[in-house]
Amino acid sequence: MSSLIEVGIVGGTGYTGAELLRLLARHPQARVKVLTSRQEAGKRADSLFQQLRGYCDVSYTAPDPEALAGCQAVFFATPHGTAMSMAPALVARGVRVIDLSADFRLKDPAVYRRWYQHEHACPELLAEAVYGLPELHRHDIAKARVVGNPGCYPTAVSLGLLPLLQAEAVDRGALIADCKSGVSGAGRELKLGSMFCEASDTLKSYGVAGHRHQPEIEQELSAAAGGPVGLTFIPHLIPMNRGMQATIYARLTRRDLDLQALYQDRYRGEPFVDVMPAGSEPETRSVRASNTCRVAVHRPGGGDTVVVLSVIDNLVKGAAGQALQCFNLMFGCDERTGLDAPPAAP
Amino acid sequence: MSSLIEVGIVGGTGYTGAELLRLLARHPQARVKVLTSRQEAGKRADSLFQQLRGYCDVSYTAPDPEALAGCQAVFFATPHGTAMSMAPALVARGVRVIDLSADFRLKDPAVYRRWYQHEHACPELLAEAVYGLPELHRHDIAKARVVGNPGCYPTAVSLGLLPLLQAEAVDRGALIADCKSGVSGAGRELKLGSMFCEASDTLKSYGVAGHRHQPEIEQELSAAAGGPVGLTFIPHLIPMNRGMQATIYARLTRRDLDLQALYQDRYRGEPFVDVMPAGSEPETRSVRASNTCRVAVHRPGGGDTVVVLSVIDNLVKGAAGQALQCFNLMFGCDERTGLDAPPAAP
Amino acid sequence: MSSLIEVGIVGGTGYTGAELLRLLARHPQARVKVLTSRQEAGKRADSLFQQLRGYCDVSYTAPDPEALAGCQAVFFATPHGTAMSMAPALVARGVRVIDLSADFRLKDPAVYRRWYQHEHACPELLAEAVYGLPELHRHDIAKARVVGNPGCYPTAVSLGLLPLLQAEAVDRGALIADCKSGVSGAGRELKLGSMFCEASDTLKSYGVAGHRHQPEIEQELSAAAGGPVGLTFIPHLIPMNRGMQATIYARLTRRDLDLQALYQDRYRGEPFVDVMPAGSEPETRSVRASNTCRVAVHRPGGGDTVVVLSVIDNLVKGAAGQALQCFNLMFGCDERTGLDAPPAAP
Amino acid sequence: MSSLIEVGIVGGTGYTGAELLRLLARHPQARVKVLTSRQEAGKRADSLFQQLRGYCDVSYTAPDPEALAGCQAVFFATPHGTAMSMAPALVARGVRVIDLSADFRLKDPAVYRRWYQHEHACPELLAEAVYGLPELHRHDIAKARVVGNPGCYPTAVSLGLLPLLQAEAVDRGALIADCKSGVSGAGRELKLGSMFCEASDTLKSYGVAGHRHQPEIEQELSAAAGGPVGLTFIPHLIPMNRGMQATIYARLTRRDLDLQALYQDRYRGEPFVDVMPAGSEPETRSVRASNTCRVAVHRPGGGDTVVVLSVIDNLVKGAAGQALQCFNLMFGCDERTGLDAPPAAP
């Protein structure tokens, strides 16, 4: 028992927090020691999340820096603003931080301020934080004290575009990502748009004028592309619980490339990226509750437009699963630990 | 009673046929005289479609050319191939034909053959057939003997792009239509992909390698644009009954234009196109069971990419409602007749 | 125009309020003159409810007793407690009140207090209020100054059981109503249980310990049965927008009866009750957006248990539609006015 | 590798077959050696079921008795009629059979004939077959050569009623089970009623005149009750993928009992029955993709009617999971093996 890695979760009442509890329940090397919620303090987690009955006997406690400092790793599953206020003290005491909010994703504090309307609380820690996309930053993640876990849209879009951008195969100035997300992406907070009767049997675009995941995607894609990208990013709300697809459009600049081989080579050995056979169309349910991203690359009609289909579970590879993948890297566990259950469909 | 326009429906067991029955039930100037189905002959339509109980007392009969010839108008709600085999004889006897299948949409018989794998049966009638999009061909429809009623995707995409193309405001060679459709678009035939457990709580692209609506969209857009368009068209299956959104991306070539004014001017007076206020995001349920198309035009970040959101009910403006709109034009009824019930949401 | 009946709606931001607006938009003899919402005052209703664009140009105003007193009829689509505070003054000025909340349903103020935890504000007006189920109280409704519009569950259960109870055909002491409701029954207020991700792809019983519709159902059934009934009532939340089914179980005491004939006789001439053919199983979508209740009566295996299936749209026959039906009776309009559009399925 | 139990699956193209593949993929002591499908022979299972990519590399083969005889256990996930034709030869060669169809559930061949319209092919094997409900027949299952795996409805209803019937606490002649099932219960065969547009945003009763699970439930309940039961069983189709609830009504004959204690005592130590705390209402998603049955017992208003809420995943505890639980008992594995992943919600 003493050899288990002791873990804290700050803000465990949302969907990503509950998902962390589900995944950690099967992680043989980790144990949730502290689970905080100011509002639900004293309640068992499985009284809020019936599905955890029999798998998780942790109770919520009010956030206590001392208790959290006794953990080896702390996950933040909080609204933005919380992690950056608590992380410096934890890091100072040797706790490794994995933040599922946006606080440690944007390298440039000015960009953070523009999109989140307040100053970043610890720019120096931000400077050393690592963007938690293992397919790009595996080695840095392993050594990181603070990981900024990617957003769901940035994960789906980045994994879809990386091979093309790194191969300089497309016009990086004219990228389009038409993204479709299940409703859990909006979180468990009460919002009119997340109500069943507002979101079922319908769909709509949202955030057309600007979405906070845009600068995050641009940051990572620009780095991969070796220069600034131009991206049109339109998210859509879809009547499904989980699941996300990025349908990506780009203009080919190198027509000689074997796109299928490009993708297979780029992701060879990646445990959580599945390059589908040529001609395939992945469905979001095929990754439900799993950490896999499935990608298919198409060139309709043999023309100059390449179309990439990239699907993930927004709560797993788009949030809690990717955080656990980073955790595994940081603590020397096999990267797949706790992430090996097959998806369930239908 | 003698003044009612007598109508026939061939193939009234699918969703578009049932939708015609629903809409015609409220049309004060029309009466369904003949409703055919080889398989269901002898049954009342409301025994198949419980929702019609109390509104429709018609029964199916086996297709009988003589009975159909006694109608003033015949709708075909059949798989492709049927209408073109029966239309010539009906037209010869003065019956006006509105075909909801693909038989009379593609002007070029060679294009028809390529996409539908058989010869067109009556190219001469095809030559005079009018494409039933009132917003483009209102006057020709009024006089037509044969109308080829548009497909659902072509309707949503065309209404979304017409103002831009007619104003020569975008690069017509690089159009992208990312389309999302409810499952009723796949019809009432038994198909694995249309099963509840295959289509719910998931989404996927389909037909990426080529979809039969592509040539139809290109035909109409090219005519509107004054030259051949280049279109990437990717449809997606969404877990909802009805509803369709086309999210359209185009590169602006004229940056001086007031796009909002362009759309409002183009559709001023159109009874079934609602140009949303600037900054709006239409939802598909806002047109559920109605003939309205809602369109919003955006220019995210003030850049060179224009994004158009166009939503319809695929069974109404995308099929039966548009057919009835054409019928109204052809028989001198007010264009809105039978199409004036407000959408119901949620 | 002067001949239109001028109508007020208090609390028009919920689903029943929006449904009233939808139905009244097609009512040729009524006009919404006043629509109140403290919170949305100044906004157009169609800015909240996109589906009303083109059908309704009313705007919200802050509640103003003077303005409401200028109407001939006022609908309350408010939480309980509001109508009873405002109705006496309106009635005193000759306005007829139709309350869609629970304020005027329970005849006994003590029962009201027990279930709603506060005193009734106007027991004298309660005493004269008529329970707005036209199939039971048509003539009293026509003359009423105040109508307490029935709850959705009470409507479905009462219409299902009336023929049996009035014929004294079942043991009135051992009735069971297993009810299933779409999520719109919970209203448009923000509640965790009404969120898409809480209510979709799942179901559950709720209110097993006691639901406020229980005393209302018992009141009406006891009156119909000529003595107190014993009822077990268990509601279930179902992942659908609209629709409700009561599956009713009762023990037959008269085995000689032709149950099918009993139901057909009882509801002969009723415009909004459809007794299905023997052996039928109604589906909730067959009444979607319509005021019809479909009922089927079964006696499985020819035994002593009678099973009644009763389906309604909870927002229409279970709320706004029934209120409009009462309105029609009160103002001498044909009972079907504004309620004649066929349901749309799928 | 030689120590793995080699398993065959006959009919692995349906939802229960796919579910067996998913669960067996994580079973450390078993290996799928043979997977048959006449129609899909030659294809990989993960080409039909995208979610299995990376977890299952088995391919379908045409059914071959010799190959199946080389397995230690064979699961039948076939329509009724197949297992009874193949089981005798397999059993004769020492293969243990777990049949997920109805062939080995009904003890009385005459009852089988009445409900399935043909003679039972091997009444002698039927006579020794064990009904695979571990909570009733654990020890017999462990020794069985043939297990008839229970239907989904019988599992949910039996687990809900066993404590009451075994304690002789209710009138066994007047039981009511109002059951609600997700659409996957109808299988993966093409059926109109299972289409998305027929089953979504609606609900309906079905099989009111008689459902094949009725005699199976009665058989097991009568044995448990020590005498014939009288059961009214009404199933409902609910718009969700997986999940089933039985809402059970019975008349108490012993009012002294502590029902909560009765249930807790009866199921103490059962790995897959979770007796919920008093006052609870389980939701079907809380057991999604898991083998748990959650049960709650209520006595509304302290009256004579007891209400039991019993939820399972119809594809797991109602089919493949229960079969695997039986397999574990038969082969001496821990009963939970391969069945320990926590449910995923939302």
Q: Let me know whether B124 and B161 are in one domain.
A: no
Asked if the structure places residue C327 within a domain, the reply is no
Q: Let me know whether D123 and D165 are in one domain.
A: no
Cβ neighbour number for residue A72 with a 10 Å cutoff: 17
Among residues D95, D128, D161, the one where a domain terminates is D128
Whether the pLDDT of residue C1 is over 50: the answer is no
Asked if the structure places residue B332 within a domain, the reply is no
- Work out the pLDDT band at A3, boundaries 50, 70, 90: confident
Asked if the structure places residue C219 within a domain, the reply is yes
The dihedral through the CA atoms of D155, D156, D158, D160 has a sign that is positive
Q: What angle do CA D247, D249, D255 make, to 5 degrees?
A: 130
Asked if the structure places residue B236 within a domain, the reply is yes
Residue with tokens 């023990």: C251
Among the partner-chain residues D204, D236, D346, the one whose CB lies closest to the CB of C198 is: D346
Residue ranges in A281-339 assigned as alpha helix (H): 321-330
Q: Let me know whether D169 and D71 are in one domain.
A: no
Q: Distance from C176 to chain D by nearest Cα, in Å?
A: 8
Q: Let me know whether D175 and D288 are in one domain.
A: yes
Alpha carbons A275 and A296: distance in angstroms, whole number: 6
Amino acid occupying residue A214: Q
User: What pLDDT is recorded for position B1?
Assistant: 42
Q: How many contacts does A have with D, using Cβ atoms within 8 A?
A: 80
User: What pLDDT is recorded for position B3?
Assistant: 86
The burial class, CB within 10 Å (0-12 / 13-18 / 19+), for B123 is middle
Residue B49, by phi and psi: left (phi above 0), alpha (psi -120 to 50) or beta?
Answer: beta
The burial class, CB within 10 Å (0-12 / 13-18 / 19+), for C167 is middle
Count H helices and E strands in chain B, helices first.
12, 13
Tell me which residue range forms the domain holding B258.
153-314
Contact C294 B49 (CB under 8 A): no
Contact A202 B279 (CB under 8 A): no
Q: Let me know whether A92 and A193 are in one domain.
A: no
Contact B243, B182 (CB under 8 A): yes
Encoded tokens for A58: 């942790």
Which residues touch C101 (CB under 8 Å, ≥6 apart)?
A: C76, C77, C78, C79, C80, C81, C82, C83
The burial class, CB within 10 Å (0-12 / 13-18 / 19+), for D256 is exposed
What ipTM was estimated for this complex?
Answer: 0.97
Q: Let me know whether D242 and D105 are in one domain.
A: no
3-state class (DSSP) for residue C236: strand
Q: Distance from C116 to chain A by nearest Cα, in Å?
A: 25
Which chain A residues touch D285 with a CB distance below 8 Å?
Answer: 51
The domain tally of chain B equals 2
User: What pLDDT is recorded for position B255?
Assistant: 87
Alpha carbons A260 and A276: distance in angstroms, whole number: 9
From residue A41, alpha-carbon distances to A35, A44, A65 in Å are 9, 8, 15
Alpha carbons C23 and C7: distance in angstroms, whole number: 13
Which residues touch D222 (CB under 8 Å, ≥6 apart)?
A: D228, D229
Contact A26 D341 (CB under 8 A): yes
Dump pLDDT digits (tens) for B269-306.
Answer: 999 999 999 999 999 999 999 999 999 999 999 999 99
User: What pLDDT is recorded for position A182?
Assistant: 98
Among the partner-chain residues C54, C294, C342, the one whose CB lies closest to the CB of B292 is: C54
Average pLDDT over residues B55-63: 97
Instruction: Residue D281: give its domain's CATH number.
Output: 3.30.360.10
- Work out the pLDDT band at C3, boundaries 50, 70, 90: confident
Alpha carbons C182 and C237: distance in angstroms, whole number: 6
Q: Which has the closest alpha carbon to B123: B111, B133, B115, B134?
A: B111
Report yes or no on whether pTM surpasses 0.90.
yes
Dump pLDDT digits (tens) for B222-243.
Answer: 999 999 999 999 999 999 999 9
Q: Which has the closest alpha carbon to D44: D18, D8, D66?
A: D18
Taking any CB pair shorter than 8 Å as contact, residues of chain C touching chain A are: 15, 183-184, 188, 190-192, 194-201, 239-241
DSSP state string for C123-137:
HHHHHH-EE--HHHH
User: Buried (b) or exposed (e) across B198-212, using 16+ Cβ within 10 A?
Assistant: bbbbbbbbbbbeebb
Q: Let me know whether C103 and C177 are in one domain.
A: no
Contact C170, C306 (CB under 8 A): yes
Contact C141, C134 (CB under 8 A): yes
Average pLDDT over residues A236-258: 96
Dump pLDDT digits (tens) for C14-39.
Answer: 999 999 999 999 999 999 999 999 99
Asked if the structure places residue A337 within a domain, the reply is no
Which chain D residues touch A201 with a CB distance below 8 Å?
Answer: 200-201
Residue ranges in B95-169 assigned as alpha helix (H): 109-116, 123-128, 134-143, 152-166
What is the side-by-side order of every strand in the sheet holding B175-181? B204-205, B231-237, B175-181, B244-251, B305-312, B293-298, B273-275
Rg, C-alpha atoms of chain B: 20
User: What pLDDT is recorded for position D1?
Assistant: 42
Instruction: Residue B118: give its domain's CATH number.
Output: 3.40.50.720
Average pLDDT over residues B93-102: 98
Among residues C88, C112, C128, the one where a domain terminates is C128
Average pLDDT over residues C280-285: 98
3-state class (DSSP) for residue C115: helix
Alpha carbons D342 and A211: distance in angstroms, whole number: 34
Q: Let me know whether C71 and C104 are in one domain.
A: yes
Contact A317, B169 (CB under 8 A): no
Residue with tokens 């094997």: D125
Asked if the structure places residue D112 within a domain, the reply is yes
Q: Let me know whether B243 and B94 are in one domain.
A: no
Whether the pLDDT of residue A61 is over 90: the answer is yes
**Could you read off the pLDDT tens digit of each residue along chain D, which spans 346 residues?**
458 999 999 999 999 999 999 999 999 999 999 999 999 999 999 999 999 999 999 999 999 999 999 999 999 999 999 999 999 999 999 999 999 999 999 999 999 999 999 999 999 999 999 999 999 999 999 999 999 999 999 999 999 999 999 999 999 999 999 999 999 999 999 999 999 999 999 999 999 999 999 999 999 999 999 999 999 999 999 999 999 999 999 999 998 899 999 999 999 999 999 999 999 999 999 999 999 999 999 999 999 999 999 999 999 999 999 999 999 999 999 999 999 999 999 9
Q: Let me know whether C183 and C108 are in one domain.
A: no
Contact C202 D176 (CB under 8 A): no
Q: Distance from B241 to chain D by nearest Cα, in Å?
A: 6
Alpha carbons D24 and D52: distance in angstroms, whole number: 11
Angle between helices A15-24 and A321-330 (to 10 degrees): 50
Q: Which has the closest alpha carbon to C200: A287, A238, B195?
A: A238
Do you know the residue count of chain B? 346
Residue with tokens 């349903």: C105
Alpha carbons D346 and A14: distance in angstroms, whole number: 11
Q: What angle do CA D152, D155, D159 make, to 5 degrees?
A: 155
- Work out the pLDDT band at C171, boundaries 50, 70, 90: very high
Asked if the structure places residue D122 within a domain, the reply is yes
Whether the pLDDT of residue B50 is over 50: the answer is yes
Average pLDDT over residues A199-222: 96
Amino acid occupying residue A121: A
Contact D300 C206 (CB under 8 A): no
From residue B312, alpha-carbon distances to A237, B237, B287 in Å are 16, 15, 6
Asked if the structure places residue B329 within a domain, the reply is no
Which residues touch A67 (CB under 8 Å, ≥6 apart)?
A: A8, A33, A34, A61
Q: Let me know whether B95 and B41 are in one domain.
A: yes
Which residues touch A85 (CB under 8 Å, ≥6 apart)?
A: A121
Across chain B, mean pLDDT equals 97
Dump pLDDT digits (tens) for C85-128.
Answer: 999 999 999 999 999 999 999 999 999 999 999 999 999 999 99
Asked, as a colleague might, if the bond just before B346 is cis with ω within 30 of 0, I would say yes
Q: Do the bridges between strand C175-181 and strand C146-148 make them parallel or antiparallel, or are there none, so unpaired? A: unpaired
Amino acid occupying residue C288: R
Q: How many contacts does B have with C, using Cβ atoms within 8 A?
A: 80
What are the backbone dihedrals phi and psi of residue C85, each rounded to the nearest 5 degrees, phi first?
-80, -25
Q: Let me know whether C163 and C76 are in one domain.
A: no
Identify the closest residue of chain C to A189 by CA–CA distance. C192
Alpha carbons D120 and C61: distance in angstroms, whole number: 73
User: What pLDDT is recorded for position A1?
Assistant: 42
Which chain A residues touch B243 with a CB distance below 8 Å?
Answer: 201-203
Q: Which chains touch D (3 or more CB pairs under 8 A)?
A: A, B, C
Which residues touch C268 (CB under 8 Å, ≥6 apart)?
A: none
Taking any CB pair shorter than 8 Å as contact, residues of chain D touching chain A are: 15, 18, 22, 25-26, 49-56, 184, 200-201, 241-242, 274, 282-283, 285-290, 292, 294, 340-346
Catalytic residues of A: 152
